[in-house]
Chains A and B, each alone.
Chain A
């Protein structure tokens, strides 16, 4: 591989670790510059870009357990046997319970003495969360390079009146609108969101971002998973427009939001 540039065959093979956020930063820069000039690779990337959100539907515990099972059949797992972990049914139940606990935010710990016998879930989750954060700083490049991902690009600089975002986007029945605000380095994002039948309906407003800047709104779900909810290009009516967006993550599972801004730090918004 050349130090300065990357050809299609090299870039293609890197796209898997690129979308999953495991690529190393220096190589990410090479892939980014290749993507900027190669439509075929951008199309390939667009085809893979939806997969992380789908992978997030499976809990890390369950996925890791899938691999652990085949590495050593249940009866041959010495630690599991000592801990009295009999079958995957129990593991599934524990994983589901831990998911619920995370989602309900009660702070109640899953029975670690059992789960810990097989895997250190907390460490795995922490590592994963760290990587998601790193991924997000470069996520703008993914979106810009890949163009629209299916139906994700719900708004492209289309203006809506600001003060009544709730009314402006109030299509059909749903829960009441909630508002969350976050800021980073002089940029501020306001996210309105509500529960609807298909997931979470969102509207985002940003200030302090130059005109014609690409932004993406990500919904942070259980375990630090991210779902792309929408993307837009800032227009001149700064602070007066709400960009509409939507996510399949149910509103009770929404832990927060991240707005990625091309060429800037991402803005974290706590729900």
Chain B
């Protein structure tokens, strides 16, 4: 799992770290990363899609 997370693009990994592991809201993550709130949302969505793909490649997700 950590390997899948590590395989993500840095900007994808950053939004997951902020919104999930640090428990930040969209607004907090936007301020921390210096990007618009809308970008946090869309980037998180695409980051999760990429993560799912990375997990599927490793046989960790259906």
One of B22, B45, B52, B60 near A60 (C-beta < 8 A): B22
| B29-42 contact mask (Cβ, 8 Å, vs A): 1 or 0 | 10000000010111
* Contact A14 to B62, CB < 8 A, known contacts A20-B19, A23-B26, A63-B5: no
Is A16 interfacial (CB-CB < 8 Å)?
Answer: yes
Is A62 interfacial (CB-CB < 8 Å)?
Answer: yes
A57:B21 contact, CB within 8 angstroms: no
In the complex, which range does the number of interface residues on chain B fall in?
35 or more
Q: Could you tell me the distance in whole angstroms from the C-beta of B44 to the nearest C-beta in chain A?
A: 3
Binding site for B on A (CB under 8 A): 12-17, 19-24, 47-48, 50-52, 54-55, 57-58, 60, 62-64, 66-67, 70, 124, 127-132, 150
A54:B22 contact, CB within 8 angstroms: no
CB neighbours of B13 from chain A (8 A): 66-67
**Chain B, interface SS category:** helix
* Contact A57 to B23, CB < 8 A, known contacts A15-B45, A48-B52: no
A22:B19 contact, CB within 8 angstroms: yes
B1:A58 contact, CB within 8 angstroms: yes
Which partner residue on chain B sits nearest A150 by CB separation?
B62
One of B2, B27, B48 near A16 (C-beta < 8 A): B48
Which partner residue on chain B sits nearest A57 by CB separation?
B1
B41:A66 contact, CB within 8 angstroms: no
Name B3-57 residues within 8 Å CB distance of A: 5-6, 10, 13-14, 16-27, 29, 38, 40-49, 51-52, 55
Additional 13 contacts, C-beta under 8 A, given A24-B27, A51-B52, A63-B5: A13-B38, A16-B44, A21-B19, A22-B29, A47-B52, A48-B49, A55-B16, A66-B2, A66-B6, A67-B10, A124-B21, A128-B22, A128-B23
A54:B55 contact, CB within 8 angstroms: yes
The answer for the CA separation of A19 and B24 in the assembled complex, in Å, is 13
Q: Could you tell me the distance in whole angstroms from the C-beta of B8 to the nearest C-beta in chain A?
A: 9
The answer for the CA separation of A210 and B4 in the assembled complex, in Å, is 42
Q: Could you tell me the distance in whole angstroms from the C-beta of B28 to the nearest C-beta in chain A?
A: 8
One of B10, B38, B48 near A48 (C-beta < 8 A): B48
The answer for the CA separation of A47 and B40 in the assembled complex, in Å, is 20
Q: Could you tell me the distance in whole angstroms from the C-beta of B10 to the nearest C-beta in chain A?
A: 5
The answer for the CA separation of A12 and B55 in the assembled complex, in Å, is 21
Which partner residue on chain B sits nearest A25 by CB separation?
B25
The answer for the CA separation of A20 and B44 in the assembled complex, in Å, is 9
Chosen A-B contacts, 7 in total, with CB atoms closer than 8 Å, are: A13-B42, A17-B40, A21-B23, A54-B61, A55-B5, A64-B22, A128-B23
One of B17, B19, B48 near A64 (C-beta < 8 A): B17
The answer for the CA separation of A63 and B2 in the assembled complex, in Å, is 8
CB neighbours of B47 from chain A (8 A): 16
CB neighbours of B42 from chain A (8 A): 13, 16
